Copies of this chain bind each other. A is one copy, B any other.
Amino acid sequence: MILVLKSKATDEQIDALIKELAAIGVNVVKIEGAEKSILGLVGNTAQVDSDHLMAQDFVESVKRVSEPYKNANRKFHPEDSIIQVCDKTVGGLDFTMIAGPCSVECEDQIMTVAREVKKSGATMLRGGAFKPRTSPYAFQGLHGAGIDLLLQAKKETGLPIVTEIMSLAHIEMFRDVDVIQVGARNMQNFELLKVLGQCDKPILLKRGLANTIEEFLMSAEYIMAGGNNNVILCERGIRTFETMTRNTLDLAAVSLIKQKSHLPIIVDPSHATGLIDLILPMSLASIACGADGLAIEVHNNPKVALSDGAQSLTPKQFEEMMAPIKAQVKFSGKNL
């Protein structure tokens, strides 16, 4: 940990700080520069609060040298984490293909989509029962009934189900869900993350619209700090100035996270781009750069979808796309 001091810092101030840090076992090395001095902190700096140091009015900046995440850090867990989901595994050499509608709308819809995507090679079924919508007047999901329909689809097809939780008040309803999704808007809903850290279900954590890679890993750390190591990350595009795509898919984040963390990471090209014609090329690119899976929206009749129809594939389009996707997965050395 490095502190750059303001030029006005006095010896008394510096000595007092050194003494304070020594008391918690942190040694300080001082470097006097031409304009400003620098303090290097050595020892167990994980317990030192950057905010506290920044609050000293003679400190100009604080820079951590070590990453602030431990459980999610590949340094302390060099091999890939493999997450068990029913009879499937996420991470490692297995490639995960999650498919399904944005929202669960009715029995016919979800059963049709589930059968179709299973036939085309999907390994899990997604579908929203609780939907985060910008407008209070838009369709908000079928709630408990939606989860029941997903479970019915699982029963028939055997596909594990993935569905989003929006409030810890609903946690009981997710008892039989296989993977609980935390949406982008809740990535820093820390109270929700804490609760999910206390269950042992796999959590699919989506990156927030404006969250850095480090914040993303720190949110995984929240879940893991509670004892739940079954975290699957999901890159789904970040918000930038570009308006032609819905978001900007950050594939470099996928490769970088594979290097920094042992957690599996999948990509959601449907939300990332919002454009059907980009789903296949972004899927191929995701596989090529090391993603552990994909989550793709498929609707039996996108024209009447109650949400996100514009970016949903038909089962037929999904089936056609699966051929090049499977080929690329195989080429990249993974199994689907």
Give A contacts to B, CB under 8 Å: 2, 4, 29, 31-36, 38, 40, 42-46, 49, 51-52, 54-57, 63, 65-66, 68, 130, 132-140, 166-170, 185-186, 188-192, 194, 208-210, 212-215, 218, 221-222, 225-226, 238-245, 248-256, 259, 272-273, 275, 277-278, 281-282, 284-290, 302-310, 312, 327-328, 331-332
* Distance to closest chain B CB from A98 (angstroms): 20
Residues of B contacting A54 in the complex (Cβ-Cβ under 8 angstroms): 309-310
Q: How far is the CA of A100 from the CA of B19 in the complex (A)?
A: 29
Considering only CB atoms, which chain B residue lies closest to A16 in the complex? B303
- Other than the known A51-B307, A213-B242, what 15 A-B pairs have Cβ atoms closer than 8 Å? A2-B38, A34-B43, A34-B44, A52-B305, A134-B215, A169-B191, A186-B189, A208-B210, A212-B244, A239-B241, A244-B253, A245-B253, A255-B277, A256-B278, A282-B289
Considering only CB atoms, which chain B residue lies closest to A4 in the complex? B65
The answer to whether B136 and A221 touch across the interface, beta carbons within 8 angstroms, is yes
Q: How far is the CA of A285 from the CA of B290 in the complex (A)?
A: 9
Interface centre among A140, A256, A304, A327 (most CB of B within 10 A): A256
Residues of B contacting A305 in the complex (Cβ-Cβ under 8 angstroms): 51-52, 55
As for how many copies of this chain the complex holds, the number is 4
Q: How far is the CA of A212 from the CA of B24 in the complex (A)?
A: 38
A-B contact list, 22 entries, CB within 8 Å: A29-B31, A33-B40, A35-B66, A38-B40, A51-B305, A54-B309, A57-B303, A135-B218, A136-B222, A166-B190, A189-B189, A210-B239, A213-B242, A213-B244, A240-B240, A240-B241, A248-B248, A249-B251, A249-B252, A254-B281, A255-B281, A256-B275
